[in-house]
Copies of this chain bind each other. A is one copy, B any other.
């Protein structure tokens, strides 16, 4: 029932580990870290200071296909809080973020600071996420996507990256989505492969986005069409300063 800490793992000061957890070989854990029960930290994962990892979470999973062995270990930086039942792969880099329950973060995903990754969010491989990005419950971000600073993705948003729906002439060129600085996507919206949401563009809930969304423009409908300008009091430049 005691956790198993590999003799070649290195723990900092004030590290607490729950029952039945496993800390693998070569893992490095910083100071003031709290690890729940039934947690698995795979070999060589790097964990910073003031990190909390919830029960049943897996960190540093090797990719299941492809060049898994060459993927660098997961890097969980300082001040990261991870919920329960989540899975973070090798090759992800996270710092100063909140990741909720049942989320999955694949290899080659970089997440900036002060981000929130909601319950059940799936971040596929090769995604780049800026600072202060918020992804709400069950949002799905397809591989090869980019979300810039202050992007907002509401619950259950759907993205896709295969313009040929599995019938491309080989080799396949996947096209993720690109949400530029401050772009926002409403609940349950669907974004087609390769779509760009330009700076502070807004996709209304339930829309199906087949074309790029212009700067500071609200689009809505199926297919989504420009509707009006984002209200000025919602522009990033007009927001009150954030609490730190």
The reply on A44 being an interface residue by CB < 8 A is no
Copies in the assembly, this chain = 3
Chain A residues with a Cβ closer than 8 Å to the other chain, count:
67
Contact with B along A175-207 (1 / 0, CB 8 A): 000000000101110101000000000100110
Contact of A205 among B38, B85, B166, B192 (CB under 8 A): B192
Interface flags for A9-34 (1: CB within 8 Å of B; 0: not) read 00000000011101000000000000
Measured between C-beta atoms, what is the minimum distance from A141 to chain B in Å?
10
In the complex, A144 has a CB within 8 A of chain B: no
Do residues B58 and A56 form an inter-chain contact, with CB atoms below 8 A? yes
What's the nearest-Cβ distance from chain B to residue A222, in Å?
5
Q: Is B61 in contact with A54, judged by CB distance below 8 angstroms?
A: yes
> In the complex, what's the smallest C-beta–C-beta distance from A187 to chain B, in angstroms?
4
> A217 contacts the other chain (Cβ, under 8 Å)?
no
A76 to chain B, nearest CB (A): 16
Could you say which residues of chain B place their CB within 8 Å of the CB of A152?
A: 165-167
